[in-house]
Every structure is written in structure tokens, then in C-alpha cells.
Chains A and B, each alone.
Chain A
Amino acid sequence: MEPRPRSFYVLATFFTLFLLFLYGPTLTIAILSFQGPSGGLTFPMKGVSLHWFHDLFQQQAVGDIWGSFRRSFVLGLMVMITTVIVSVLGGLAFRKRFAGSGIIFYLIITSLVIPSILVSLGVGLIWSQSGLPVHWSTSGFGAQLTWTLPFGLLIMFAVFNRFDKSYEEAARDLGASPWQTVRFVVLPIIAPSLIGVALFGFTLSYDEFARTLLTSGSYNTLPLEIFGMTTNVTSPVIFALGTLTTLFSFGVIGLFLLIFWRIDRRRKAQGSDAGNGLA
């Protein structure tokens, strides 16, 4: 290997500082969530304990953390499944130009860049003016989809732009019906990217605050609950909650990576038989 130029070391230092900047604050609250019972929101640590985690599992004076966690989790799954299905269908549709494809494309971009609070306000207004009660599983669900779908679709666009169409032609030549081609050729090939879409769908929904603000009704989702706590709670219990939700996010990423890895491995095991032919 040729020696590294000096710029490498400068840039590597910069990159390390950037990582410190990204992780530092979160690590700080992770440490502070182990404050002793008499400790406060900042250093110094007054002892080390699990007091604030314990506190979190007690009946809370304000709010309903576990109820809101459950709602966020269910909503995240709903959004995830819908995002995957609609993104795949949309991605398949966009492989050909169809009537209105230009309009829909620009709507997707608009959906991505429109300030969240406008979606929240608009959906909230429609619901209240038509006399429907806003609820996280209806208005909140729809409002979140305007945020997760663009990401899902952009991933699908990128995937299909690099998709080798000769696989489908081969399937057709062998007499596969269009449905069989999708089911047995296209879907298995794009499966790893679908895990990415699912991960985006779930976590974007799970964290979404602004679009759920006016559309979730009287039952809070977790981000709304945490937001409420920031104005009421002045003890490290909120750091404990922060640490737990961060760990939960890591768990979710880990799970998706595991699924990704399993699919990848199975694919390699079944493998391609190219080159193993008649020789």
C-alpha cells in the first residue's frame, strides 16, 4: 500500500471530531441517567444508581409513558407495513411512464420538503371541520405516511434504476406470468432494499413529532409524551427515558441488520450456479 498523504490524517481527525460531536451529547445523558437519587440534571454525579430507571417504571405523576410507547410501537408497525407495500407498488408503477406520473413525482418531492407542521395543521383542520375525532391511528397515521412514503419511494426508485431487466426477460421467456415474474424474480432480488424501506418506515414514524402534533388526538405517541415531559419534568428521569429509547432504537436497527444478514446468507448458500455448469 502506498503511504497515506498528510491530508488523510487531517481529514481522519476531522471525522473523529465529527463523531464525537454526534455521539457526545447522547453519551452524556446516558451517563447522567445513572445519577444517584439526589443528583440533578447536570454534573457532578452524586453517586451511581439505577434510581431514575426504577422511577420510570413507577406510576408517573405526569403522562402515560408505557401507553404512549405501545401506541408509538403499533403505529410504527402500521406505517412500516403500509410504506413497504405502497412503495413497492409505486416503484413498480414508476418503471414506465403512466398518465399523471409527472404530477405524482412532484407530489412525492413536495411531500418530502413541505414543513411538517403544515401537514399537521392541514390534516388537523380537515378532521376537525368534518367533525371527525383526530386519532393517532387515522389522522396521525395518514399524516406520518406523507413523511415515510417519499423516503420509501426514493429508495425504490434508486433500486429499480439499477435493476437488471434481463432477469425478468429470462423469466418471461421461460413462460412465467407477470405475477410469477414479480413474485419469484423481482421481489427476491429487491428484498434486501425492502428491509431498508421498512427500517425507515418504522423509525421515522416512531420518532415523528411535528406531523403527529395536531393529528394524534387525546392519546399521545411517545415523542409527544417526551415533549410534554421536557416542560414538566426536571429530574434525570427524563435522561433515563432518553437512554432507554436510544437503546430501543439500537435494538430495532440491530434486528433489521440481522434480518438483512440472514437473507444475504441464505441467498449465498443457495447461491448462483453460474460457472458450475456442465464442465
Chain B
Amino acid sequence: MASPLALILTAFLVAPIIMIVIVSFWGATEFSIYPAFQFDNYAFLFGSDVTYRVFFNTFKYAAITWAFTLVIGFTVAYFLAFHVRSLKWQIALFLLCTIPFWTSNIIRMISWIPFLGRNGLANATLVSWGVIDEPLDWLLFSDFSVILAFVHLYTLFMVVPIFNTMMRIDKSLIEAAVDAGATGWQTLRYVVIPLTKPGIMIGTIFVVTLVMGDFITVRFMSGSQSANVGRMIQNDIGLLQYPSAAATAVILLATVLIVIGILLRFVDIRKEL
């Protein structure tokens, strides 16, 4: 019964990864690629300053986005799980959070433009309040707007698993903590957070991998002024430099898998389902 699954994963996941690894050793002319076994692509990649800068940028985006989505996601999930009292309201408010997720990412990115642009709502409001004299240029097409869009797109991936684990916490444990004289903070610190850790880890895996592999948000929200690894791969593809794109892809994949490997040490993912 698992054979259709195995077949699809082999054809569209394993085979493509193998293909990328093979092609990463190939050579390319301006118009075509040819089979070879050479380390040129990797040598070029590791010899270039740009690579290190772009990888640094990728980690920077991932780390900052992770911090924001974690704080926001945890707070939202905590509110839903512990402060909303009836299950009906919990489900209703939870659904309210998930609805925007069903609209196209690109549409949700475009929708920041009338907000953040030079003549956008944010600038107009700030100027009319007298907070600033001139419109701020860094609101759109900057690291700020990239991270804002990431947080906007991906916080839900943090809310869902955290909410899911919090809902399974036995409420009597919290009562016990309160009865034993714990303050709100102590309950949070010593009871809720440790019990929520699996959800936090799963959310972290989602957010980190989504941000590290993303290329369209970075292109769109930075106005092509910043890059991450995904953008670098996409650039090479645009120039038909597939072997070089493949080599970058192999390194990105290795990085992502190492990060996941580390995160999975903290959580038994099979047990959490």
C-alpha cells in the first residue's frame, strides 16, 4: 500500500536530488551543459567572496525571522490554548489565523507595496502625525521589508505546531503548579515551555527551511537588492548555468539537512504526530 508513495517520492524527490548532484559536476557553455566530472563549479563557489556573503545573509534572514515568528507564534498559540475558554472559540479564532494562508503568497507580498512604498500608507501616516519630516526610504525594498514579509508569510507555520502541542498539555499540570505556589512566569518557564518544546522544534524546522530555500520573497521585497542562496540559484538558472546552480543547490541542501539533523536531536518527530 505504500508503493504509490514510494514510487512518487523516488521519481520526484530522490531522482531529482541525484540528478542535481550529478549535474553539479558537469560543465556549461553559454548555451548548453555537457556531461563531465570536474570540480570547477565547487572550486568557483568556494573561491568566491560572494558565496560566503550570500550564505551569511541567508542565515541572517533565517535567524531574525525565526526569532520573530517564535515570539509571535508562541504568544498567539498561548493565548488561544490557555486564555480562550471554549473549544468552539478556540477553533474559530484559530481558523481566523489560518485563512490568509490560503491566499497566494505572491498576492500577499504585493499587498505590502501600497503599505510600505514611498507614498504608501505607513509613510503618509507617519508624516501626517509629524513623527518624520520626509518619507522613509527603507520601508520597502530593504532587509526590513524582506523580514517583514517572511514574518507575515511564515508565522502561521509556528502557530500551528505550538498550538497543537499546547492543546495536548493536561490542564491539571498547570493547576498543580499554581497550587504549589508558582507565579505565572514560573508556570510558563518551568511547565508550559518545556512541554511545548516539541511544537517549537517542529515550527522552527518549518520556518528555518522555508526561509533558507526562499528566493521569491527576497527578490520581490528587496527589489533585487539583496540575495540569499535561493536567489543565487535562481540567478544561475536564469543564465542557463545549470551546473553552477546545481552545485549551489547541493551546498544549500547539505546545509539545510545539517540544520534539520541538529533540530531533530531535540524532538522525536514520530512520537509527536
Q: Which residues of A contact B (CB under 8 A)?
A: 1, 4-5, 7-8, 11-12, 14-15, 18-19, 21-26, 28-29, 32, 41-43, 85-86, 89-90, 92-94, 98, 100-101, 104-105, 107-111, 113-119, 121-123, 125-126, 129, 142-143, 145-146, 149, 153-154, 157-158, 161, 203, 207, 209-210, 214, 222-223, 226-227, 230, 238-239, 241-242, 245-246, 249-250, 252-253
Contacts and interface: CB of A to CB of B under 8 A. Distances in A.
A108 B23 CA distance: 24
Contact of B2 (A41, A93, A230, A242): A93
Nearest to A85: B4
Interface stretch (B37-45, B117-125, B169-177): B117-125
Given A118-B213, A126-B19, A145-B8, A253 B99 contact: yes
A37 to B, nearest CB: 18
A245 B121 CA distance: 23
B200 interface: no
Contact of B121 (A1, A28, A226, A253): A28
Contacts of B209: 113-115
B234 interface: yes
B97 A19 contact: yes
A8 B79 CA distance: 8
Contact of A117 (B72, B93, B213): B213
Contacts of A7: 83, 184
B11 interface: yes
Nearest to B118: A42
B107 A226 contact: yes
Contacts of B249: 115, 117-118, 121-122
Contact of B111 (A126, A227, A242, A253): A242
Given A107-B14, A118-B249, A11 B233 contact: no
Interface string B1-24: 110111011011111110110010
Contacts of A123: 12, 16
A107 B273 CA distance: 16
Given A29-B111, A119-B12, A114 B213 contact: yes
B189 interface: no
Contacts of B260: 109, 113
Contact of A26 (B19, B97, B100, B270): B100
